[in-house]
Amino acid sequence: MVSKQKDCIGNVLSERPDLNREDGLRLVGFRPVDRAESLTTGAHFLQRGKAATTENDEGWMTSVTYSPSLGHSIGPR
């Protein structure tokens, strides 16, 4: 989230073509299916029932934290 109206650190980098590709990496939020379960930073996302292989890898958890207001772990990937 970089303002196009003001100059800031990262403004030039945000305009690089590879950072704006339709098929590029995206930062999205997540929460556990079982909210009582703890999440682990660096764990990989797989569809249920899929084998843990590189071909089935759908990304990874870049960081995880506990949200006291939600009562469970949250994070971006």
The pTM of the full predicted model, rounded to 2 decimals, is 0.54
Question: Smallest Cα–Cα separation from 57: which of 73, 72, 42?
Answer: 42
In a 3-state reduction of DSSP, which class is residue 55?
Answer: helix
pLDDT tens sequence across 8-58: 887 888 888 887 888 887 777 888 888 888 888 988 989 999 999 999 998
Domain range summary for the chain, segments of one domain joined by +: 25-77
Cβ–Cβ < 8 Å for 39, 61: yes
